[in-house]
């Protein structure tokens, strides 16, 4: 049986590279301290994805549609940055900061 966090990542509809990075990161450390920032990231992603879909439906031109995507891409970057900062804070608190360096090195290699 697939643990819930892995299933949540796979079912989130995120970019394939981000999905692979999150799954690889969870292979290194799937403690609750790492899972919680991932869950918050997935929730943020779901909210911004829904907002993107709604704003694209209201787009009246190609320029509006591109602007919707541009805003979505900026939001993705902000969510990834928040994930990184939340992971740093969590791992600093429990003394596993070295694990974060390995997770980010292997995970955020685009």
pLDDT in tens, 3-33: 799 999 999 999 899 999 999 989 888 888 8
Flag whether pLDDT at 79 surpasses 90. yes
**For the residues 21-50, what does the mean pLDDT come to?**
92
Cα torsion 13, 15, 17, 20 to 10°: value is: -10
- Residue 28 has a pLDDT of 85
Question: Which pLDDT band, with edges at 50, 70 and 90, does 88 fall under?
Answer: confident
Q: Report how far residue 21's alpha carbon sits from residue 110's, in angstroms, rounded to the nearest whole number.
A: 9
């Amino acid at each position: 049986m697939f643990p819930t966090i892995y299933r949540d990542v796979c079912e989130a509809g995120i970019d394939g590279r981000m999905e692979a990075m999150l799954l690889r990161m969870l292979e290194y450390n799937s403690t609750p301290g790492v899972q919680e920032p991932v869950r918050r990231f997935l929730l943020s992603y779901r909210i911004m994805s829904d907002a993107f879909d709604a704003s694209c439906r209201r787009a009246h031109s190609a320029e509006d549609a591109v602007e919707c995507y541009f805003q979505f891409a900026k939001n993705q970057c902000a969510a990834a940055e928040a994930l990184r900062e939340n992971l740093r804070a969590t791992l600093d608190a429990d003394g596993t900061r070295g694990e974060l360096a390995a997770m980010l090195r292997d995970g955020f290699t685009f």
